[in-house]
Structure 1
């Protein structure tokens, strides 16, 4: 049973959409509200400024680096554990390979990521522009294609195997094959 199954239970018990929304916002089912000490909760919030959703600004990483690499490592481990649990539970892979590959590159290779959806490359390693390509456990080939027009100096191939083990290989652009086509080809082996 997940932490949010009580919302379905509320629906089944005939609670209104408004009651269900309130419960989702608080994270607690109405039948558990009696266990929450209102005085304690108010005391915890006494000196905290009130903010509406529009006043909260998103946190940006410092020039491509996460604020704390140890936190990023823990997040990475949590995401991998979640992907493993999902696979064990459903027999299907959770499609988070690209993000896992880039977080692995941050931790293992020191990738400094560009802003989200920046064209040309994913970030830099030691001052060189790098494109990260992740090979998932679903793929049998160790080859990746990358657009020739991409603005990158190196290709980092991250391979995730069926046991959720990671391996990375950094390749200079000059070593990629592809002739005159639209794509260049890199290989893990």
Structure 2
């Protein structure tokens, strides 16, 4: 007798079986693409797996993995189309057209929705990504020239002071 599990098979198309999980994945990618036309869709599975891992690890242990910065950068790549720089590259985290983008992430365990930005960095835009306690992710981007002027190298930027997401 055949031991093949047919429960996930949707239909036979063009000489091979298409599964419900493949259809679900394609629909998710279309949703991301419709909401974010500049989405780098190849990054979606990495983002989804990493946020799921962080959430389940926290639920299991009460601890947090050190992955939130990576989640923020992947979110920027997916939602804004930011081309990420190599790991530990000097300057900004990625490029959006000709602009250098710095990505800062507000983690779910932070008590205040604030990031600290090094104004000595080489960036034209700042993307602040917020991951809340329910592991929902959102982002807000601002041009560097729209950031408040202040003396000193470091600038504290509040989530509530940023323009709402598009």
User: Structure 1-normalised TM-score?
Assistant: 0.61
Q: 1:127 aligns with which of 62, 79, 98?
A: 98
1:110 matched to 2:95: no
Q: Which residue of 2 aligns with 1:82?
A: 53
Counterpart CA distance in 1 for 2:53 and 2:62 is 13
Separation in 2, partners of 1:151, 1:84: 32
Higher strand share: 2
Question: Structure 1 pair 183/140, CA: closer, same or farther in 2 (3 Å)?
Answer: same
The alignment yields a C-alpha RMSD, in angstroms, of: 1.6
Report how many residues are paired.
Answer: 122
Q: 1:150 pairs with 90, 109, 121, which one?
A: 121
**Residues 158 and 169 in structure 1, CA contact (< 8 A), matched pair in contact too:** yes
Aligned to 2:148: 177
| Greater alpha carbon shift after TM alignment, 156-165 vs 170-179 | 170-179
Return 5+ residue gaps in structure 2 as ranges: 1-39, 161-166
Q: Give the TM-score, by structure 2 length.
A: 0.69
Aligned-partner Cα distance in 1 for 2:155–2:145: 10
Q: From the CA coordinates, give the structure whose radius of gyration is larger.
A: 1
Long gaps (5+) in structure 1: 1-68
Q: Which structure 2 residues correspond to residues 1-189 of structure 1 after superposition, within 5 A?
A: 69-189=40-160
Cα separation, 1, equivalents of 2:88 and 2:96 = 18
Higher-RCO chain (CA-CA 8 Å, sequence separation at least 6): 2
Return the structure number with greater helix share: 1
